[in-house]
């Protein structure tokens, strides 16, 4: 049974409060670990601020302009990606730039798909889906196969969402996909996969990257609670000391959190992603918009698991913006002719 419309604002307020508490805990834990082991918590603090600001801005813009806001976000993300260095996500590429480019393209495709489902007319929906397809083509032209794959997967998931009436199953599927993808890459780092799977994956990911991941696992095992301190991976990693990479990061968000801020930091990162999915699940918007945004955020977790995308402020702000737009309640929320029903 439904708890009634009066209960919905209370549940959304509880969701927002939970998100604020989690983001605050991420910032506080970064300061605590920096106080114990030293390091630079500014990167985590900036990421938390970017997500919070993007989410708040998305809620406001999504309420005022449910079609124009995600469309503008898609174009802005595409513009940032085009203006970034044209680097492919290959074993020899600097993953900070390439991963950020792939992440921005993926988020841009997700925003275009959200705008398409929120549009009033079939012609506008078609134009916005063509924009999402154009993002995938642009990624291929820029030499970002991961960005192209991410944008394509998001577009296909958005189209498939037309047949989904129960968003709970869709959100559960996205959560399972994120867990599976992250688990596979962690298994590669721990050399826990069968040889027949490990060798092809290592060949695709690059040996240097796998060595960085193994260093990160070793550091996490050294101090599983608090890690070595935020931003200190480059100071203590043997692979970084050998000069094989220049930026001093393990190029995997979960492993960076585990090595620098311990399992507590990694758990907080996972909790923030779970909160975003929960906020989408509780969103008053159409299920198709919710699942399109969820697909983009899930694809972002895959990019972040093998790269350095979450260290780029534009990416974290974009993720928060997309989630905020998808969870906003439009100010003019009347049923429209030709629009899909809003599933519960």
Residue 97 reports pLDDT greater than 80: no
**Helix/strand number for the chain, H first, E second:** 14, 0
**CA nearest to 44, candidates 237, 241, 255, 261:** 261
Q: Judge contact between 60 and 117, C-beta under 8 A.
A: no
Residue 129: CB atoms within 10 A of its CB come to 20
Task: State the Cα–Cα distance between residues 199 and 197, nearest whole angstrom.
Answer: 6
Q: Judge contact between 51 and 272, C-beta under 8 A.
A: yes
Range 299-323 average pLDDT: 93
Task: State the Cα–Cα distance between residues 67 and 270, nearest whole angstrom.
Answer: 30
pLDDT bucket at 249, cuts 50 / 70 / 90: confident
Read off the pTM: 0.89
Range 136-147 average pLDDT: 92
């Amino acid at each position: 049974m439904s708890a009634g419309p009066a209960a919905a604002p209370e549940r959304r307020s509880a969701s927002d409060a939970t998100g604020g508490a989690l983001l605050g805990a991420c910032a506080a834990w970064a300061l605590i670990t920096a106080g114990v082991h030293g390091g630079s918590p500014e990167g985590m603090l900036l990421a938390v601020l970017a997500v919070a600001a993007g989410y708040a801005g998305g809620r406001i813009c999504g309420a005022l302009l449910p079609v124009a806001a995600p469309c503008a976000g898609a174009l802005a993300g595409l513009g940032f990606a085009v203006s970034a260095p044209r680097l492919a996500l290959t074993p020899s590429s600097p993953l900070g730039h390439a991963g950020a480019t792939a992440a921005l393209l993926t988020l841009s495709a997700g925003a275009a798909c959200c705008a398409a489902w929120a549009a009033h007319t079939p012609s506008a929906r078609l134009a916005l889906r063509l924009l999402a397809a154009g993002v995938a083509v642009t990624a291929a032209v820029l030499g970002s196969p991961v960005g192209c794959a991410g944008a394509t997967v998001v577009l296909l998931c958005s189209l498939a969402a037309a047949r989904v009436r129960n968003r709970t199953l869709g959100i559960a599927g996205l959560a399972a996909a994120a867990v599976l993808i992250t688990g596979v890459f962690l298994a590669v780092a721990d050399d826990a996969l069968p040889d027949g799977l490990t060798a092809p994956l290592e060949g695709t990911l690059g040996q240097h990257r796998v060595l960085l991941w193994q260093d990160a696992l070793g550091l996490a095992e050294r101090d599983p609670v608090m890690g070595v301190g935020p931003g200190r991976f480059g100071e203590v990693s043997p692979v970084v000391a050998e000069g094989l990479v220049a930026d001093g990061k393990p190029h995997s968000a979960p492993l960076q959190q585990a090595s620098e801020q311990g399992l507590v930091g990694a758990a907080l990162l996972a909790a923030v992603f779970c909160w975003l999915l929960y906020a989408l699940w509780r969103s008053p918007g159409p299920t198709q918009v919710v699942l399109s945004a969820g697909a983009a955020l899930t694809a972002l977790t895959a990019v972040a698991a093998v790269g350095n995308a979450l260290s780029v402020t534009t990416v974290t702000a974009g993720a928060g913006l997309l989630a905020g737009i998808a969870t906003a309640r439009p100010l003019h929320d009347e049923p429209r002719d030709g629009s899909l029903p809003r599933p519960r």
